[in-house]
Structure 1
């Protein structure tokens, strides 16, 4: 007489039987406890796939003393870069059994400070924050002990883990590409204060110096918001009052570059023949702009993966090394129609 087939979802014991290991070993593999050999781990993972076992994440997190969720704090999901980044963070967090609560601040300093102090809608294990206003002073004043990883093009407290691209090199890369295409009078839209330049502006200035080009203060224009409308407004003003227009424009983001392209063409200038334009972030819409936009592209997958990995180590109280405090994800130049190509267009 044989047992009748068991009904209901696969259990941990079913995985253990198929893999030929104990339930404790299966549990260790599922929870990432580094006790099983590579061969045993592979056997357990194969058995999980074979029986279709789905770990109970709520129970798993409870057993590990975790809430099972983290918060991603961004200025706005209306900005394509942050919408795309959020998707990458969600995917990376799922591999660790975390749900992601997304909190928008609109760039409001008070809302950013509130998020840093743990004022979010539910209990969480940690925070990943992309801030437009937070600096070393705000982080030093923070009293909340929720593990925190920062993102973004800013200078942070040296003890706070921070993931970003090398924005200094990104600024240099943008200038090098425009100069290689023949540009000599380069504007920057979204430039920061020259007395304390942010990394992308600093990189732009270093790029000019590398090629012996003068800094022309009239071509460095700040913006009040990271929007296409603001990029259009600033370039309209620049072209209306400048009798010697730039032949190359570095826009601080692709979203701003969209407005830059519109303003340039409204003034009867051709892109890239009269004015070449380059942006940053390689947002999903960059290839659909007219002309399509050359951009410095961050590896968003790596930004998200590194941030979630660092947060997991903080939550697990795993000590971080000196190289873990500021992590740079890869970046690359994606050449499209808005610049004079020095290589075959990509993207």
Structure 2
């Protein structure tokens, strides 16, 4: 059996309520009483039952973070930032890997048991607006990524056109004139690839350069192997 509030109260010679006030850092406890209770906590090695505390507050203390590729340095760095931020609010982050598969994204988005988590952060690849609109889960959802959804959920994204223009502007500033674009796609007009390609074209034109169609290479994905294959094809 672990050490309980009752055990601490008996050791300190105070009420269980007083111990609870100290553990929850309520301000109306005198410094002398707080020190007395803290000493008993230290002597007995008491640790709060976080699960019980979360249940009393109506939350689990767990946030789910689902990404398509755990091995991608971007998602690894992002996961670390989310975990650090969550820890500041006493939340634990449960990381899930969808592998970019539609069925796994649907499973996480629509069938993830809401009583297990307090919220979901999801970076989808293949989900459609209809999938999000049909979502029955009650836990809050935040979407990451540049795909645009007309659904009642918050979404965090970047301005892909502006980002591509800035990248091209940087290269032009270095004196480059033949600037390639790797990663064009033939599906979905509003996808990140199309927006980035638009930014590439706009900035080249603004710099007085002609966008060369022969320097555009399509890819099936955005992994390292996709980039390597596209670069090899371009050099050939």
- What range is the shorter-chain TM-score in? 0.7 to 0.9
Query: In structure 1, what is the equivalent of residue 210 of structure 2?
Result: 214
Q: CA deviation at 1:85?
A: 0.8
Contact between 2:66 and 2:108, CA under 8 Å: does it hold in 1? yes
Q: Does 1:176 align with 2:169?
A: yes
Query: Displacement of 1:61 after TM fit?
Result: 1.5
Q: Does 1:107 align with 2:115?
A: no
Equivalences for residues 58-137 of structure 1 within 5 A: 58-119=51-112, 123-137=116-130
What is the CA–CA distance in structure 2 between the aligned matches of 1:225 and 1:61, rounded to whole Å?
41
| Shift >6 Å, 4+ stretches | 51-54
Q: Which runs of 5+ in 2 are unaligned?
A: 1-9
How big is each residue's C-alpha offset from its partner over 1:123-169, in whole Å with a ceiling of 9 and x where there is no partner? 11111001112232322232323210000121122532011333322
Change in Cα spacing, 1:176 to 1:103, as seen in structure 2 (3 Å) is same
Output the aligned Cα RMSD. 3.3
Looking at structure 1, the residues matched to 109 and 88 of structure 2 have their Cα atoms a distance apart, in angstroms, of: 24
Task: Find the aligned partners of 1:230 and 1:138 in 2 and give their Cα distance.
Answer: 28
Change in 2 beyond 3 A, CA 1:120/1:73? farther
CA separation of 1:21 and 1:125: change in aligned 2, threshold 3 A: same
Indicate conservation of the 8 Å contact 1:67/1:124, yes or no: yes
Q: 1:172 to 1:55 in 2, by over 3 A?
A: farther
Deviation at 1:174, TM superposition (A): 0.4
Corresponding residue number in structure 2 for 1:239: 235
Residues 248-268 of structure 1 deviation map (CA, whole Å, 9 limit, x = unaligned): xxxxxxxxxxxxxxxxxxxxx
**Which residue of 14, 37, 57 corresponds with 2:22?**
14
Preserved contact between residue 135 and residue 155 of structure 1 (Cα < 8 Å): no
Gap change, CA 1:89 and 1:22, over 3 Å in 2: same
CA contact (8 A) 2:164 2:197 kept: yes
**Alpha-carbon distance between aligned partners in 2 of 1:54 and 1:206, rounded to the nearest angstrom:** 59
Secondary structure (helix, strand or coil) at the match of 2:122 reads strand
2:185/2:220 contact within 8 Å kept: no
Change (3 A) 1:200 1:69: same
CA–CA distance in 2 between the matches of 1:211 and 1:157? 35
Larger RCO (CA within 8 A; separation ≥ 6): 1
Structure 1: gaps of 5 or more residues: 24-43, 241-347
What is the total number of aligned residue pairs between the two structures?
209
Residue 225 of structure 2 aligns to a residue in which SS?
helix
Please list, as runs of the form range in 1=range in 2, the aligned pairs for 1:1-347 lying within 5 A after superposition: 6=12, 11-14=19-22, 21=28, 56-119=49-112, 123-157=116-150, 159-193=152-186, 196=189, 198=192, 199-240=195-236
Say if 1:118 and 1:146, in contact at 8 Å, map to a contact too: no
Taking structure 1 as reference, are residues 126 and 194 closer, same or farther at Cα in structure 2, changes over 3 Å only?
Answer: closer
Q: Indicate the structure (1 or 2) with the bigger Cα radius of gyration.
A: 2
CA contact under 8 A between 2:144 and 2:156: conserved in structure 1? yes
Q: Which moved more, 1:176-185 or 1:225-234?
A: 225-234
Paired with 1:70 and 1:167, the residues of 2 have a C-alpha distance of 28
Supply the distance in 1 between the matched residues of 2:64 and 2:181 (Cα, whole angstroms): 34
Deviates more, 1:203-212 or 1:229-238: 203-212
For residue 85 of structure 1, give the secondary structure of its aligned residue in structure 2.
Answer: helix
CA distance in 2: counterparts of 1:81 and 1:146, whole angstroms: 26
Which structure has the highest helix share of the two?
A: 2
